[in-house]
Amino acid sequence: MNLSKPNRGVILTAAAVTCSFCGAIYMWSIFTNPMIAEHGWNVQEISLAYSIFLLMSMVSGFLCGKVQDKIDTRALMLIAGLLESVGWGMTGFASSIPMLYFTFGIIGGFGDGIVYNLSVSVATQWYPDKPGFASGICTGCVALSALLFAPLGQLFISHFGASGSFKLCGVIFFAFFFVFSWFLRMPPAVFVGDEDAQVRKGEAVDNHAGAEAAQQKPRDFTTLQMVRQPLFWIIWVGVFLASTSGLMVTAHTSGIGQLLVGMTAAQGALMVGVFAVGNFAGRFVSGNLADRIGCANTLMLLMLCTAAEMLFFYAGASGFTSFMIQTCLLGFFFGGVMSNLPLLCSTYFGFKHFGGNYAISYSGYTVSALVGPMIAAFVLANTGGYDAAFYIAGGLSLLAFAAFLLVRLIPEHLRGRFAVAD
């Protein structure tokens, strides 16, 4: 395969396809009741498998960053795809809770983290002139894949039951990974993107992030050097707060809809698709916006919009249509946060160690995935409604805005130490 400029569109497409399979996790809730019926497990036991999956994704994503420069990209993706496929497939043979945790949580989660991390890393490094565009496409496909995987999971379960569906998913997943991993590879070290782009890896980018990029000189930080930077922890806290705010509501959309507007089961199924479309649009649009005004500026704008949504509009939905619009907007804002996280890593800590750096930064979202839904559940249990959750989420969004504002205002003051020598 020729490594010339036109082929990066093919590589981006392949990365988006492999990344989209990380969205298969959206099917997990669909499998809960069928697994209870087949095995007699309880909801808490099954939910822990999901948490283990997220934890292993974070761990393997970090390890991926350590080895992706040492192992052929196609081979690494094929191995990761095999692990994720085996994890899903072997879950169909799980006859006990420990086996469920091992197959789905550990094996599947480990493969998923490498797939996601490697896909985003490959895509953004082929588009040094438009990293927001590449990140938006890949992360957006994860969100949009819910439109495919949710009904597909329902179809499989109706014909093959939970166990049979897991086995079938394993086979189908590996077939796609086997084909599309072939097209993935890292760009050459001197790759410059478009002919007109004044960009080279490791140097400032004139058309990326506008003034934000112009005022800094990106350097390549190792993961250890990155976590010693105060700036990293400000970014981590900002991502954690932003994600917690979004997940407090998105993880309880069905319950919120039932309480606010009496949403039916059929409307709940429609809401999955509505949120997925909004999420995809937010990732794609905000990724492209970040290429123009910078990722920190984009995140500040998203946080202000999220805070306004939470504090003034969401709880006021008076019917299903208005609730659907508010949910779509929330999906848009939340999706924008996810597409800008890779850009924060590459903008402030460089491309050379992007894989490991991104995995550690992504842990802010991983922790929020555990904390956010629990806060909303606590509010519901103690107040009988979600109104307080909206106010808490709005407050967290404003705190996240402050964190990203700090990132924007004083990057040079917090950077510069422990830089990797050229």
pLDDT in tens, 37-91: 899 888 778 878 888 888 898 888 878 877 877 888 899 999 999 999 999 999 9
Q: What region, left, alpha or beta, does residue 141 occupy, with left being phi > 0 and alpha being psi -120 to 50 degrees?
A: alpha
Per-residue confidence (pLDDT) for residue 238, from 0 to 100:
94
Per-residue pLDDT tens digits for 303-355:
999 999 998 887 777 788 888 888 889 889 988 888 888 888 888 888 778 77
Tokens of 31: 């499998």
* Residue 216: pLDDT over 90: no
Per-residue pLDDT tens digits for 233-283:
999 999 999 999 988 887 777 778 877 778 776 676 677 778 788 888 888
Neighbours of 5 (CB within 10 A): 13
Whether the CB-CB separation of 413 and 261 falls below 8 Å is answered with: no
- Entry pTM: 0.75
How far apart CA 317 and CA 319 sit, in angstroms, is 6
* Residue 189: pLDDT over 70: no
209-218, 336-345, 359-368, range with the lowest pLDDT: 209-218
46-50, 120-124, 170-174, 265-269 — which one is most confidently predicted on average? 170-174
Give the model's confidence band at 164: pLDDT under 50 very low, under 70 low, under 90 confident, else very high: very high
For residue 341, give Cα distances in angstroms to 69, 127, 153, 364: 21, 16, 29, 10
